[in-house]
Copies of this chain bind each other. A is one copy, B any other.
Amino acid sequence: MSHTLGIRQAQKQKTRQALLDAALGLLEEQSLSSLGLREVTRAVGVAPTAFYRHFRSTADLGVALVEEALGSLHPMIRTTVSTAGDSAERITGTIELIRRHVDGYPAHVRFIARERHGGVQPVRAAIRDQLARFAQEVKAELAKDPVSAGWTEDDLLMLAHLYVDQMLITASLFLEALEGPEEEREERTRHVAQVATRQMRLISLGRHHWLD
């Protein structure tokens, strides 16, 4: 199936990726709704009009960035939530996974946090859809757990959404710690992890007593 695409299409995808990367970089200190197409092409070193060969508009580029930032995350979600072990170590494992992801893809995390409620409607919609899919996947994993015996579908989904939102908040806090001065970084990161762990534990506690 891996049809080695010609040097033509290869070059095109290369430029496209360069545009995406440059945009992601520029979005560190502004929002998508203020990102200019000329700004992006200038950063890449290509003519402004070349932009149109890849995207209809910056909003269109934003939607592509959502795919890039969240699309590849689904397998991770599944394997994490379904990891074996008792509740305590599953929580610390999840928090640690979030921390590492923020560490590895800070710009992606920033983009999602920023544009989730940002000023560009199609991008908001794309993020909302992806997060809804995440919630569905988390729900599916939760359903397998014996703790969920007797839960309604609605209750499973409301808990899944609670988890997803909590993950996003935690990721955003890790990012803030990462952006701060280097000498505080380590301690702030540890602090975020500690607080997030206890919050997850409290939610987990509520989960175990839900059917009382």
A29 on the interface (CB 8 Å rule)? yes
A202 touches B207 (CB 8 A): yes
Max count, chain B CB within 10 A of own CB: residue among A32, A118, A155: A118
Interface residues contributed by chain A, number (CB under 8 Å): 37
Number of copies of this chain that the complex holds? 2
Interface readout for A25-63 with B: 1 if CB under 8 Å, 0 if not?
Answer: 001011111100000000000000000000000000000
* Distance to closest chain B CB from A92 (angstroms): 15
Q: Which of B110, B159, B198 contacts A155 (CB 8 A)?
A: B198
When distances are taken between beta carbons in the complex, the residues of chain B under 8 Å from A122 are none
Q: Which of B33, B114, B159 contacts A202 (CB 8 A)?
A: B159
A117 on the interface (CB 8 Å rule)? yes
Q: Which of B31, B117, B198 contacts A33 (CB 8 A)?
A: B31
